[in-house]
Amino acid sequence: MNSFSIKRLLGEEAKSQEVIVEGWVKTFRSNRFIALNDGSTIKNIQCVVDYGNFEEEVIRSISTGAAIKVKGNLVESQGRGQDVEIQVTDLFIHGKADAETYPIQPKKHSLEFLREKAHLRVRTNTFSAVMRVRSALSFAIHNYFQQNGFYYMHAPIITGSDAEGAGEMFRVTTLDAKNPPLTEDGEVNYKEDFFGKETNLTVSGQLEAEAYAMGLGKVYTFGPTFRAENSNTSRHLAEFWMIEPEMAFYDLDANMDLAEDFIKGVLKYVLEHCEDDLKFLEKRLLDEEKTKPQAERSEMALLEKLRFVVDNNFKRVTYTEAIDILRNSKPNKKKKFEYPIDEWGADLQSEHERFLVEKHFKCPVILFDYPATIKAFYMRLNEDGKTVRAMDVLFPGIGEIVGGSQREERLEVLQQKMADLDIPEEELWWYLDLRKFGTAVHSGFGLGFERLVQFATGMGNIRDVIPFPRTPQNAEF
């Protein structure tokens, strides 16, 4: 007989049929009631053991965290709290978990504590729920693009170019760090390195995706990206997953339409497919919020917030309009912003983004047409000569969740921009080729996957929505 998932068993009608389940003990009450979980669902199945039928040693091995196999009859539950339960006839202990040393006990552990036990934390309700939602979101993302005529493209992870031009890259090298080969000028000689040039882990697959959009029409990447920015915030990881669609013949408006429809589509999917987990996470969040001062609590519960985003239009606002709103805002006048806004051209900090989204518009916002000086080199210059066709999607509680743009498709304009920024043409000769041969209007964006998972699960810290987070000074596990 094969074992069944608990998710499936809980949906079965109990006719006293014999079943097998395997999982980890959540709790063992009164030497009689095992709450068993196998990760298939947030819910446990109750397994009832008759003490007298089993050896003392077996009973003693049943403790929180132990892996066991249970055979028995699935019957209607006598007790309250569950429809079905298993009356155990056979018990096999896969592996015990010593109660003295097993860190995940049936009580509330802080998220900080669990971060240090990242290899075990998925056995908690919170993390198993988050990771199931994360998995469902990944599926929904592929599903969305595959159903809408996009091809999945694998952009390289090792790259010679700095797509964002921010210089926050992790070097990839096989040279001996203590004794690297040197050039005549005493510089490290990367010609002798593995690839014969300087290479890094990619910060974005965009430039390569552009090449592929110019042949396949509509593509998307979904892979890990790496940034060596020393930001210890609840929104930044050094290794995170990014989804980057890139579309030939899309202008900025079409790009914004896609971003909005895409985000709504994948959130709708999890609303429809992850109800139990989202309800659990909503309750977790409500409990957590009770410990905060009133002013910091969010106005909507998790499910309501997700439905609100799915059902309402995102507000589209130009950077220039946003600066006016910010300049005249209360916190700006009362000098409450850490970075006061006075000039057009200022880069927006997360405090400003959150003010716009959470206090002013109270809905997701797409800001577009940013000053060229604060955005990457590849964005299309507007007729005014000072703004570019950039867009950022800003979310409540998160800030920037998507960054994208219409790309500069005009060769001369792009060359001029690269010259202004001292980006050597030799480094991006192939990217310029795309503008020489069959160039066309095209656009794309990047969605930070973990920030989306944060939004969908209500988790406040990005370290708690990826299995093994990489952050400054931390690459354990």
Which positions lie near ligand 4AD, rule CB under 6 A? 163-164, 204, 206, 227, 229, 236-237, 240, 242, 244, 400-405, 444-446, 448, 450-451
Q: Which does 168 bind (CB under 5 to 8 A by kind): ligand 4AD, Mg ion, none?
A: none
Q: Which does 206 bind (CB under 5 to 8 A by kind): Mg ion, ligand 4AD, none?
A: ligand 4AD
Residue placing its CB nearer to ligand 4AD in the complex, 40 or 221: 221
Take residue 254 and report the two structure tokens written for it.
Answer: 């079409």
SS3 call for 199: strand
For residue 222, the minimal CB distance to ligand 4AD (Å) is 12
SS3 call for 137: helix
Q: Which does 127 bind (CB under 5 to 8 A by kind): ligand 4AD, Mg ion, none?
A: none
| β partners of residue 446 | 403
Q: Which does 244 bind (CB under 5 to 8 A by kind): ligand 4AD, Mg ion, none?
A: ligand 4AD
Q: Which of 238, 222, 219 is nearest to 230 (CA)?
A: 238
DSSP string covering 345-369, please? TPPPPHHHHHIIIIIII-S-EEEEE
What does the chain come to in residues? 477
Residue placing its CB nearer to ligand 4AD in the complex, 403 or 458: 403
Instruction: Determine the interface stretch with Mg ion among 113-121, 219-227, 369-377, 401-409 (rule: CB under 5 A).
Output: 401-409
Query: What are the helix (H) ranges across 349-424?
Result: 350-354, 411-420
Residue placing its CB nearer to ligand 4AD in the complex, 34 or 263: 263
Residue placing its CB nearer to ligand 4AD in the complex, 396 or 444: 444
- Is 130:281 a contact under the CB 8 Å cutoff? yes
Q: Which does 134 bind (CB under 5 to 8 A by kind): Mg ion, ligand 4AD, none?
A: none
Q: What is the number of other CB atoms lying within 10 angstroms of the CB of residue 105? A: 12
* Dist. CA 435–CA 118, nearest whole Å: 46
DSSP string covering 151-175, please? EE----SEESS-TT-S----EE--S
Take residue 338 and report the two structure tokens written for it.
Answer: 């850490």
Contact flag: residue 404 with Mg ion (CB under 5 A): no
Angle between helix axes 429-436 and 411-420 (nearest 10 degrees) is 150
Residue placing its CB nearer to ligand 4AD in the complex, 166 or 419: 166
For residue 402, the minimal CB distance to Mg ion (Å) is 8
Take residue 314 and report the two structure tokens written for it.
Answer: 């995102």
Q: Which of 205, 403, 448, 458 binds Mg ion (CB under 5 A)?
A: 403
Q: What is the largest CA-CA distance in the chain?
A: 85
For residue 262, the minimal CB distance to ligand 4AD (Å) is 13
- Is 242:235 a contact under the CB 8 Å cutoff? no
Instruction: Determine the interface stretch with Mg ion among 311-319, 361-369, 395-403, 432-440 (rule: CB under 5 A).
Output: 395-403
Instruction: Determine the interface stretch with Mg ion among 122-130, 155-163, 170-178, 397-405 (rule: CB under 5 A).
Output: 397-405
For residue 47, the minimal CB distance to ligand 4AD (Å) is 41
For residue 405, the minimal CB distance to ligand 4AD (Å) is 6
Strands, E assignment, 128-217: 151-152, 158-159, 171-172, 199-201
For residue 355, the minimal CB distance to Mg ion (Å) is 18
Residue placing its CB nearer to Mg ion in the complex, 281 or 393: 393
* Dist. CA 178–CA 200, nearest whole Å: 19
Residue placing its CB nearer to Mg ion in the complex, 72 or 403: 403
Residue placing its CB nearer to Mg ion in the complex, 136 or 379: 379
For residue 72, the minimal CB distance to ligand 4AD (Å) is 46
Spatial strand order in the sheet of 315-318: 151-152, 218-226, 239-248, 442-448, 399-406, 387-395, 365-371, 315-318
Which residues are at the interface with Mg ion (CB under 5 A)? 403
